[in-house]
Amino acid sequence: MAELRPSDHIYSDRGSYCHHGIFVGEAKIANPNKQGKTRKLRHAVIHFRGIERNAGAGADGDGKAGGCRKCFHKAGDLGVVLTCMDCFRRGNALYRYEYDVSWITFNTTRNGSCSTWSCADPDTVIKRAYDFFHNQNFGQYNFYFNNCEHFATACKTGKPRCNQAAMGTGVAGVMVYKVARLVTKGILWKE
Ligand SMILES: [Zn+2]
């Protein structure tokens, strides 16, 4: 946990795919059950949720009708969402997406876990994430062309990019991105 910094692009491994987001640190959220009341979240994540491929098991928000007890997130909430860390990682190990790495490192790292792109300063990254969240203007979710990884890289670099879908399709993206397959190092959060 000590290593996690606000503005970090993080992801959790959900087996068949990875879910990406921007760790924003402490955040204040509105309490939908008590008008005018807010609540402080210690470890908030802004991420882009589309149609879940495995919506059944381990759904967000504890699967409760009222949503998550910590962040009020509901399983059906889609688009750019701000949630607690539990809703983001759903019990899975957490990793940081590395930027500014060399091509050699990139080639020996699991696909979708790092990039050779450089990223903006932390304040800019967090501001971009909040802007997308408040304005809900990141667009329609599309697993291949506009997914959670695109969202996080857009916050970090200013442009949406993705390694993950490239590997999933094995067609379009491979032309653009080098595919790497080894497991990445550096688990940041584990129970
Ligand atoms: Zn939550």
Over 80: is that where the pLDDT of 23 sits? yes
Calculate what percentage of the chain has a pLDDT beyond 70.
Answer: 64
> Does residue 103 lie in a domain region?
yes
Alpha carbon of 101 to ligand 1 centroid (Å)? 32
Under the phi-then-psi rule, with left for phi > 0, alpha for psi from -120 to 50, and beta for the rest, what region is 170?
A: left
Within a domain: 4:
no
Ion ligand 1 nearby residues (CB, 5 A): 68, 70-71, 73, 83-84, 87
Residue 151 is assigned to a structural domain of this protein: yes
Q: What is the mean pLDDT of the chain?
A: 74
Q: Supply the range of the domain harboring residue 52.
A: 9-189
Identify the band that residue 43 occupies on the pLDDT scale cut at 50, 70 and 90.
Answer: very high
38 within domain boundaries? yes
Task: Give the tens place of pLDDT for each residue, 88-110.
Answer: 988 888 888 877 665 555 555 55
Question: What spatial distance separates the first Cα and last Cα of the chain, rounded to whole Å?
Answer: 11
Question: Does residue 104 sit within a domain?
Answer: yes
Using the predicted structure, report yes or no on whether residue 133 has a pLDDT greater than 60.
Answer: yes
pLDDT at site 179: 28
How far is 102 from 79, CA to CA, in rounded Å? 32
Distance, CA of 118 to CA of 104 (rounded, Å) = 16
Asked if residues 11 and 48 have their Cβ atoms less than 8 Å apart, the reply is: no
Asked if residue 160 belongs to a domain, the reply is yes
Query: Considering its fold, how many domains does the chain have in total?
Result: 1
**Tokens encoding 50:** 């589309």
pLDDT value, residue 40 = 93
Q: Is residue 173 in a domain?
A: yes
- Would you say 114 and 184 are in contact if contact means Cβ atoms under 8 Å apart? yes
pLDDT digits (tens, 9 = 90+) for 58-84: 445 445 566 899 999 988 888 999 999
For residues 34-59, average pLDDT? 76
Cβ proximity of 11 and 97 under 8 Å = yes
Query: How remote is the CA of residue 40 from the centroid of ligand 1, in Å?
Result: 12
Distance (angstroms) between ligand 1 centre and the Cα of 72 equals 6
For residue 34, the one-letter residue type is: K
What is the structure's pLDDT at 170? 38
Residue 3, domain member (yes or no): no
